[in-house]
Amino acid sequence: MNADIGNEILRLKEKGLSKLCVEESLEKIAALTLEINKLKKEKKAVIAAHVYQRPEIILGTADFVGDSYKLAKDCVGVDAEIIVFCGVNFMAETAKILNPKKRVFIPRKDAGCSLSDSIKAEDVRNLKKNYPSAPVVTYINTSADVKAESDVIVTSSNAEKILRKIFEKNKQVIFIPDKYMGKNLADKLNKKIGTDIILWDGSCVVHEKFDPEIISDYRKKYPDMMVMAHSECPSEIIKKVDFMGSTSDMLKQIENTNASHYMLITECGLGELAAVKYPNKKFIAMCRLCPYMKMITLENIKDTLLNLKSENEIFVEESVASKAKKSIEKMFEFAE
Ligand code: SF4
């Protein structure tokens, strides 16, 4: 093993990666992270990584880590010529919309999202025809075309706040595309589905499949545990948890509380990150892997940076991007 790789292994261990990877895999990981970080400097690139990404990507290569809202903000005016987005397609599109002059790449363009894939621009136009006076409030997990047809974008961390503001001036709102998040928000705001809030039939393949009974079983074993769930989960889960929110909200809760154990009902990446960030707290595994998020690997990040191929580059038509940008900026305005 050469000295550079040895030093890189030490750096990765200091970041906490050895808690999440077997010792034998560290040499291979270190060779890749070394090369990726060298390529980043050569190509004046930054890497933005969603919290659901693999730990070796987050701890070894990322310049920005966060949920959709944080990454959208971090990407505004970033000081780099290239952004490599490690997440799913709609996130890379959002980065491109907010940075039209920069080149944005995604290591796998086919990294989709069941929520984003559930709705097209034409569906939104039809909803608007049916409910002409209702503003369209759209979860960020949607394509640029759908964002362009929307009035305001929301993320799981600001949806409640923004909806409250919108309901001050409107009786009816179209909320797309996540039916579970829409139902959870309607319950919180005491609004009726079908009259106050019009929903779309979209759902997240990861968050819709948790079993609420498992929570009760674990509560018997760990009565002081705190259970947190992402707001993309169905209400049968939400009714049984202590806290519902975005991934950043959940991390804040862990930081500010002292439960005996924490159960995070979301994609597995968050639990891994939490275990590294809070080594003295105890976590109970109750997670599922997102097949789209996990398409991104160190190998395909390296290839993307090395070759900068058009098959990995994100392009958004100017007319769509300018309309989508307005609805994203409206979110920043409402959320601040
Ligand atoms: S976890 Fe669900 S919402 Fe997030 S990218 Fe995967 S499929 Fe989409």
Q: Mean pLDDT over all residues of the chain?
A: 95
User: Which mutation among 292, 294, 295, 296 tests ligand 1's pocket best, with the greatest number of atoms within 8 A of CB?
Assistant: 292
Please tell me if the CB atom of residue 162 comes closer than 6 angstroms to any atom of ligand 1.
no
CA of 6 to the centre of ligand 1 (A): 36
With a cut of 90, say whether residue 75 has pLDDT above it: no
One-character DSSP codes across 64-128 = EEE-HHHHHHHTTT-SSSEEEEES-HHHHHHHHHH-TTSEEE-S-TT---TTGGG--HHHHHHHH
Q: What pLDDT, on a 0 to 100 scale, did the predictor assign at position 181? A: 97
Q: Which atom number of ligand 1 is nearest to the Cα of residue 267?
A: 1
Q: Is the per-residue pLDDT at 186 higher than 90?
A: yes
Mean pLDDT (whole number) for 78-98: 94
Domains of the chain (ranges; CATH) run 3-113+293-312 (3.40.50.10800), 116-203 (3.40.50.10800), 207-288 (3.40.50.10800)
Q: What is the mean pLDDT of residues 246-255?
A: 94
Distance 42 CA to ligand 1 centre (A): 32
Model confidence, pTM: 0.93
Q: Give ∠ CA 144-118-234 in degrees, rounded to 5.
A: 115
Tell me if 61 sits within 8 A of 301, measured CB to CB: yes
36-40, 58-62, 66-70: which has the minimum mean pLDDT? 66-70
**What is the DSSP code (8-state) at residue 163?**
H
Identify whether the C-beta of residue 33 lies closer than 8 Å to the C-beta of residue 61. Answer: yes
Question: What does the block give as tokens for 158?
Answer: 């600001």
Query: What's the farthest any 2 CA atoms get from each other in the chain?
Result: 66
DSSP code of 225? -
Give the residue, out of 110, 267, 270, with the most ligand 1 atoms within 8 A of its beta carbon, to mutate for a pocket test: 267
Q: CB of 114 closer than 6 A to ligand 1?
A: yes
- Using a pLDDT cut of 70, give the percent of the chain over it: 100
Phi and psi torsions of 104, nearest 5°: -115, 130
Q: Is the peptide bond before 100 cis (omega within 30 degrees of 0)?
A: no
Collapsed DSSP state (helix, strand, coil) of residue 32: helix
Alpha-carbon span 176 to 159, nearest angstrom: 11
Residue 214 has pLDDT above 80, yes or no: yes
Q: Is the pLDDT of residue 14 over 80?
A: yes
Range scoring the smallest mean pLDDT among 69-78, 151-160, 245-254: 69-78
CB 314 within 8 A of CB 104: yes
Does 92 contact ligand 1 (Cβ within 6 A)? Answer: no
Point out the least confidently predicted range of 144-148, 267-271, 322-326.
267-271
Mean pLDDT of 36-62: 97
Q: Looking at the chain, list the stretches that DSSP marks H as alpha helix, in order from N- to C-terminal side.
A: 3-14, 26-42, 55-60, 68-74, 89-98, 121-130, 144-148, 159-169, 179-189, 212-221, 235-238, 247-256, 268-277, 298-307, 318-335
In this model, does residue 336 exceed pLDDT 90?
A: no
Q: Is the pLDDT of residue 268 over 90?
A: yes
Whether residue 293 has its Cβ less than 6 Å from ligand 1: yes
Spacing of C-alpha 112 from chain mean position = 12
* Cα distance between the two ends of the chain: 50
Q: What is the pLDDT of residue 32?
A: 97
Whether the pLDDT of residue 215 is over 90: the answer is yes
Instruction: Give the position of tokens 């209400």.
Output: 235
Cα separation of 315 and 51, whole Å?
Answer: 24
Decide if pLDDT at 270 tops 90. yes
44: left (phi over 0), alpha (psi -120 to 50) or beta: left
- Would you place residue 20 in the very low, low, confident or very high pLDDT band (cuts 50, 70, 90)? confident
